[in-house]
């Protein structure tokens, strides 16, 4: 049963199973959710346009952002040579 179109988030890493390119994003009841097709992880996304909601989940959001940023770290120059 399809409630909404799901889009894959390119390069995103699932905070639960650490699989890349398994996270989808979709809208439901005017909220953004992301869901992992690999392990079933699902969570509402708190966008910057909703600062009041973000405030209550700031700790968790910060951890998740960190988990997503880590794989995109700068390339080690030694591996380039
Ligand atoms: Zn997952």
DSSP-based three-state secondary structure for 39: coil
Domain 7-72 has CATH 2.20.25: yes
Model confidence, pTM = 0.52
Per the CB < 8 A criterion, the answer to whether 14 and 38 are in contact is yes
Distance 80 CA to ligand 1 centre (A): 31
Distance 14 CA to ligand 1 centre (A): 5
Distance 23 CA to ligand 1 centre (A): 7
For the chain, the structural domain boundaries read 7-72
Distance 72 CA to ligand 1 centre (A): 18
Overall average pLDDT of the 4-30 stretch: 92
Note the pLDDT tens digit of each residue in 18-55. 999 999 999 988 889 999 999 999 999 886 654 555 55
């Amino acid at each position: 049963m399809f409630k909404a179109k799901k889009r894959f988030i390119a390069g995103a890493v699932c905070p639960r199973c650490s699989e890349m390119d398994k996270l989808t994003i979709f809208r439901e009841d005017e909220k953004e959710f992301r869901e992992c097709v690999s392990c079933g992880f699902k969570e509402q996304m708190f966008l910057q346009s909703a600062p009041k909601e973000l405030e209550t989940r700031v700790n968790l959001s910060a951890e998740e952002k960190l988990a997503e940023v880590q794989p995109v770290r700068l390339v080690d120059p030694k591996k380039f040579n």
